[in-house]
Structure formats: structure tokens, C-alpha cells
Amino acid sequence: MRVGVFGGTFDPIHVGHLIVAEEARVSLELDEVLFVTAGQPWLKESRKITEGRHRMAMVERAVESNANFRSSDVEINRPGPTYTVDTLAEMRHNLGQRATLYLILGLDSFRELHRWHHPERLFQMCKMVGVSRPGSQDLDLRALDDITPGASAGVTLLETPLIGVSAADIRRRLSEGMSIKYQVPECVEDYIYEHGLYRNHTVSGSSLSKEDSPR
């Protein structure tokens, strides 16, 4: 069994995530892609992260229409900071030795990999896959060899469509009352408005509901 593991803060999940995950699924002939919503992403502690139950609910809705996508709660349910090495160990335990795990990362994430918890172990626990992201095309993977010799040679690079959508920009747009239509699946957009997420009370001093949302 070939399993893709696509982790993220998903605050919120957007079409960039979904498109590259589907490209990876097809290119690598994965049986499924697990979307793993981060519990406490310790490298993003400088900003307030939306409650895990909301981020995961959006992921669940977003992946529902793809029979090969699945939402995983392993990180949300684990107390303490979220470390990918722990997630991969848990998945290995659950799926058994016959599963091949592919960790899917946007190329920008490789820049930060040396700051992750035991990054050298990632290269032993799974196959590493890089997907394109605007702004990171020129990344030199050889820096990974400082983490563990030969690491860069083990990364599979996929040329996926460049989707210039980011969760940070979506949050900014929502706080400014701008439209996010087509940047997230409609079910995610509905969820955001229904729960009043990302408003930050900056929209004309009034609350933005589904009815008066910028659609």
C-alpha cells in the first residue's frame, strides 16, 4: 500500500493544498492521501492558530469528494507540540511494515526542515516528496545534506501546477471583508462564514454572516 501523508496547519485548507495533493496521488500512484491537521504547530507559535476542531472540520469537508483522500486526526488528538516524526511513527504502527509512506511537502517547507524535531529521522521513516509552490522553484535541495548526508538525493520532486494561494492571504482577505470565492472549496467557504472565522471584527464594525458575505 502506498500512502501519502500531507500535513499542515490548514488554517484554512485551500485549493493549493488540494491540487498538489491530487497531483502527488496520481504521479506516485498512491492508494490514498492522508491530510493530517496539525494540533499545535510549534513553529507557528508567533500567531494565533484557529482551534483545531474548526481546522479539521474544514479539512474533513474539503476531502469528502475525493475517494482517495482521507482526513487524519492523529495530530489533533495528541497532546503537546506536533512533531511529524511522532506522526509517522504512529502511522507506521497503524499501517504495518508493508505500507510505503510518502511525506508530501510544499517546497517552501524544505527551507525550514532543519528546524523540525529530529529531521534526520524523517529521511529514514518515509520517502520525501516535494511539490511546487510559487516562490520556491529555485530552492537548492543540497542544503538538506547538512541534515543527513545524501538527503537531497532521496527527495522526489514533482512538477505540480503553481498555485499562488496561501492560507495567510485567505485570512487577510477575510479580515478585510474580501472575497475568497474559488480559493477554497465552497463547503469550506460556507463553514468559514457559518462559524465567523477569520473576521477579527474588522469588517465595518459589523459581523459578517453567510448572508452578507462577499460572494
Report if residue 35 touches ligand ATP, rule: CB under 6 A: no
User: By beta-carbon distance, which residue lies closest to ligand ATP?
Assistant: 106
- Of the ranges 63-71, 74-82, 150-158, 166-174, which one interacts with ligand ATP (CB under 6 A)? 166-174
Report if residue 84 touches ligand ATP, rule: CB under 6 A: no
Angle 36-8-3 (CA atoms, 0-180°, nearest 5)? 45
Report if residue 175 touches ligand ATP, rule: CB under 6 A: no
Q: Using the 8-state DSSP alphabet, how is residue 145 labeled? A: G
Taking each helix axis as running N to C, give the angle between helix 52-63 and helix 186-194, from 0 to 180 degrees, rounded to the nearest 10.
150
Cell of 135: 516562490
Q: Which of 168, 204, 205, 211 touches ligand ATP (CB under 6 A)?
A: 168
Report if residue 67 touches ligand ATP, rule: CB under 6 A: no
> Long-range contacts made by residues 45-51, C-beta under 8 angstroms, separation at least 24?
49/9, 49/11, 50/11, 50/12, 50/197, 50/198
Q: Cα–Cα distance between 173 and 78 in angstroms, integer?
A: 31
Report if residue 165 touches ligand ATP, rule: CB under 6 A: yes
Report if residue 167 touches ligand ATP, rule: CB under 6 A: yes
Nearer to ligand ATP, 138 or 211 (CB): 138
Q: Which of 5, 74, 163, 188 touches ligand ATP (CB under 6 A)?
A: 163
Closest residue by Cα to residue 87 from 62, 53, 44, 122 = 122
Report if residue 188 touches ligand ATP, rule: CB under 6 A: no
Residues within window 3-22 making contact with ligand ATP, judged by CB under 6 A:
8-11, 16-17, 20
Report if residue 155 touches ligand ATP, rule: CB under 6 A: no
Q: Could you tell me the strand order of the sheet in which 155-158 lies? A: 69-72, 32-37, 2-8, 100-106, 127-131, 155-158
Burial (CB < 10 A; 0-12, 13-18, 19+), residue 164, is exposed
What is the nearest approach in angstroms of ligand ATP to the Cβ of residue 108? 5
Cross-strand pairs, 127: 102
Contact string (CB under 6 A) for ligand ATP, positions 101-120, x = contact: ----xx-xx-----------
Binding site for ligand ATP (CB under 6 A): 8-11, 16-17, 20, 105-106, 108-109, 131, 133, 163, 165-168
